[in-house]
């Protein structure tokens, strides 16, 4: 039977990345830069104090000219374990989240491995549309991956908009 982790630390996450053979650099307490075997890069963000309660894998790209919301909706319909969206610059982003409640080390490694596979598919989906007109592989300006944007810059505001009610009429 596999070991079930009740509490996970960032050090244990680093060890799991090392065991998986993923090229990972911990740049902050809650942030790892990753390079997958396919050469594509992503970020692993840890959430929770003092123990990690969830993981998020994220990668973004720039340089794609024809990405439309319908392309991302089709991705989200087809692939269940990740989500995609356009960032503030209208560039495509792919993310995946894992809640760490009663999870095994093997499940964490499978999560990271699966994201690498989905990242490859995601990149090829848009690179194919941009770089292979007429089925011939021609791509002069290769799309590039975007640098990391901190999670706080992507969160919705916690303030709620106020709604003004019409004045009551006196009867």
Give the single-character DSSP code of 135.
Answer: G
Nearest Cα to Cα of residue 17 among 37, 40, 2, 1: 37
For residue 1, pLDDT beyond 90: no
Give the distance, in angstroms, between the CA of residue 16 and the centroid of all CA atoms in the same chain: 18
C-alpha 24/C-alpha 4 separation (Å) is: 24
Backbone angles phi, psi at 135, to 5 degrees: 85, 0
pLDDT digits (tens, 9 = 90+) for 90-140: 889 999 999 998 899 999 999 999 999 999 999 988 776 544 433 333 334
Would you say the pTM of this structure is higher than 0.85? no
> Among all chains, which residue has been given the structure tokens 């680093």?
14
In 3-state terms, what secondary structure has residue 103? strand
Query: Which residues are within 8 A (CB) of 100 and not within 5 positions of it... i.e. 6 or more apart?
Result: 5, 8, 48, 52, 53, 54, 55, 108
* Domains in the chain, CATH or no CATH each: 10-153 (3.30.1460.10)
For residue 161, pLDDT beyond 80: no
Long-range contacts of 82-88 (CB under 8 A, 24+ apart): 82/115, 82/118, 82/122, 84/122, 87/60, 87/146, 87/149, 87/154
- Name the burial class of residue 41, with classes exposed (0-12), middle (13-18) and buried (19+) by CB atoms within 10 angstroms of its CB: middle
């Amino acid at each position: 039977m596999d070991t079930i982790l009740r509490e996970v630390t960032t050090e244990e996450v680093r060890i799991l990345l090392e065991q998986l053979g993923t090229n990972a650099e911990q740049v902050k307490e809650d942030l790892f830069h990753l390079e997958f075997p396919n050469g594509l890069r992503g970020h692993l963000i840890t959430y929770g104090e003092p123990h990690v309660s969830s993981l998020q894998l994220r990668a973004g790209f720039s340089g794609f000219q024809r990405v439309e919301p319908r392309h991302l909706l089709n991705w989200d319909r087809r692939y269940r374990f990740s989500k995609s969206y356009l960032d503030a610059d209208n560039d495509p982003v792919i993310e995946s989240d894992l809640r760490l409640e009663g999870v095994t080390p093997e499940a964490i490694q499978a999560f990271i491995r699966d994201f690498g596979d989905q990242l490859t598919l995601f990149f090829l989906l848009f690179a194919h549309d941009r770089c292979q007109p007429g089925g011939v592989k021609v791509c002069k300006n290769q799309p590039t991956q975007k640098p990391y944007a901190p999670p706080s810059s992507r969160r919705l505001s916690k303030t709620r908009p106020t709604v003004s009610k019409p004045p009551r009429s006196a009867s």
